[in-house]
Amino acid sequence: MLIGIVGAPNKGKSTLFSALTMHEVTIADYPFTTINPNLGVAYASKECVDKELNVNCNARNSLCINHIRFFPVNIIDVAGLVEDAHIGKGMGNQFLNDLANADALMIVVDASTKTDAHGNKVDYADPIKDIVMVKNEIIEWFSNIIKKHLNIISKRENGIEALHEILSGFKVTKNDIEDILNLYSLSSNKINWTDNEIKKFSEGIIEKTKPMVVVANKIDVPGAIDNFNKLKSAVKEYKIIGCSASIELALRKAAKQNIIQYIPGDNQFKILKNDLSKEKLDALIYIQNFLKSNNDNIQQLLNYVVFDLLDNIVVYPVEDENKYTDHFGNVLPDGILIKRGSTALDLAEKIHTNLAKGMLYAMDARTKKRLSKDYILKDNDIIKIVSTIK
């Protein structure tokens, strides 16, 4: 799973990336701080089933802190996007091509309204314009890819096959293509669409395969909360989540240095050191008050993308259904992120292709009930896969 961070220059994308991943990147108050894409790992979180079962898990492929399980997710932060990037302006197509493998996008805007579409400081800049610009640039970029290959596509009887060969690298499936063709009643044989039809198809595919959430950053700036609320009222197409990436980066750095005890997503923390300077103590008190007065944070943002926008659930595979362990005796060692609607066979394939090839059936570790290979998995299922191949 790969989640892309996008937006106009100087909106706080790199700070958000650093706060999510604790990966050191260049952060500065000027446009195009990021040139090459930054790659890192963040952790989506949800309550672990070990609390329900009254056991202590031995998390192996994830982390578990106070019965909260943290699941690794890949994050990419790309260069700031400006109008006409699809024709090479700003960082141009270099930026857009970096997004090809993203499963979802976070559009970062400035809730303080103090940076314009080029990343320059101004008295007022409408964040809605940034949202529209980012979406349009991505659609135009995608449209241009299809136009570039239209001569080849138009000669193929099976347009779905032809499009898939071009678009498979963008995580677009044949079913995705067919769904959008049907939605807009577009021809699928020897495709020779108009520019308007190409744009319709591109918009539909982007919405289906790269769903977006809007991140209203810098809500700690005076007046930004009012702007955030106006933005939520005005924009109904996307979920709007507010945050202060700079505050949350400071929190995570303080926790890493053992200055505070803090679990990402909590609205409070505990100060561990008694010898802090007045300046640092005042800063922490300010941050504590900020957390108490704001419900949104970047952990909620990441969780929303992983579990709601991308519709993933968590399933715990085990080998011993009585002790909930693997063959080494680790309790609930792995939590697997998998699409809602997936089957027990899908889970087996995700664990190992050989396990799936020899799969006989699955077992619900809670009820000890035998399950068929086409059993639809539920969130927090604990599943044993019975296979002829180990």
Full DSSP string of 238-249 = S-EEE--HHHHH
With respect to residue 137, please indicate whether it lies within any of the assigned structural domains: yes
CA–CA separation, 28 and 352 (whole Å): 44
Choose the final residue of a domain: 231, 260, 284.
231
Domain that holds residue 219: 2-37+78-231
The whole-number pLDDT of residue 36 equals: 58
With respect to residue 46, please indicate whether it lies within any of the assigned structural domains: no
SS3 351: helix
The whole-number pLDDT of residue 24 equals: 52
With respect to residue 352, please indicate whether it lies within any of the assigned structural domains: yes
Q: Over the stretch 341-363, which tens digit does the pLDDT of each residue have? A: 999 999 999 999 889 999 999 99
> For the chain, what is the mean pLDDT?
89
Same domain, 316 and 227: no
In this structure, the number of other CB atoms found within 10 A of the CB of residue 361 comes to: 15
Same domain, 197 and 326: no
Choose the final residue of a domain: 207, 231, 255.
231
Choose the final residue of a domain: 196, 231, 266.
231
**Cα 41 to Cα 13, 70, 245, 246, distances in angstroms:** 15, 11, 16, 18
Total structural domains within the chain:
2
**Cα 365 to Cα 113, 297, 307, 328, 358, distances in angstroms:** 52, 35, 23, 17, 20
Q: Say if residues 31 and 80 touch (Cβ distance below 8 Å).
A: yes
- Enter the tokens of residue 8: 């106009």
Same domain, 190 and 91: yes
Same domain, 332 and 223: no
CATH assignment of the domain containing 318: 3.10.20.30
With respect to residue 367, please indicate whether it lies within any of the assigned structural domains: yes
With respect to residue 369, please indicate whether it lies within any of the assigned structural domains: yes
Q: Over the stretch 218-255, which tens digit does the pLDDT of each residue have? A: 999 999 999 999 999 999 999 999 999 999 999 999 99
CA–CA separation, 377 and 379 (whole Å): 7
Q: Over the stretch 118-142, which tens digit does the pLDDT of each residue have? A: 888 899 999 999 999 999 989 998 8
With respect to residue 329, please indicate whether it lies within any of the assigned structural domains: yes
Burial 126-165 (b: 16+ CB within 10 A, else e): ebeebbebbbbbbbbbbbbbbeeebeebeebeebbebbbe
DSSP state for residue 272 in the 8-state scheme? -
With respect to residue 192, please indicate whether it lies within any of the assigned structural domains: yes
The whole-number pLDDT of residue 83 equals: 74
The whole-number pLDDT of residue 34 equals: 45
With respect to residue 259, please indicate whether it lies within any of the assigned structural domains: no
Query: How would you classify residue 15: left for phi > 0, otherwise alpha for psi between -120 and 50, otherwise beta?
Result: alpha
Same domain, 198 and 329: no
CA–CA separation, 110 and 128 (whole Å): 10
Same domain, 121 and 213: yes
DSSP state for residue 101 in the 8-state scheme? T
- Give residue 106's pLDDT band: very low, low, confident or very high (50, 70, 90): very high
Q: Over the stretch 58-98, which tens digit does the pLDDT of each residue have? A: 999 888 988 999 999 999 998 777 776 656 555 445 666 77
Q: Over the stretch 272-282, which tens digit does the pLDDT of each residue have? A: 988 899 999 99
What percentage of the chain carries pLDDT values higher than 70?
A: 93
List Cβ neighbours of 219 (8 Å cut-off, separation of 6 or more): 111, 112, 225, 228, 242, 243, 244, 294, 296
Same domain, 333 and 224: no
- Give residue 37's pLDDT band: very low, low, confident or very high (50, 70, 90): confident
Q: Say if residues 33 and 26 touch (Cβ distance below 8 Å).
A: yes
Same domain, 26 and 174: yes
Same domain, 338 and 208: no
For residues 334-342, average pLDDT:
96
Q: Over the stretch 136-188, which tens digit does the pLDDT of each residue have? A: 989 998 899 999 999 989 989 999 999 999 998 889 999 999 999 999 999 98
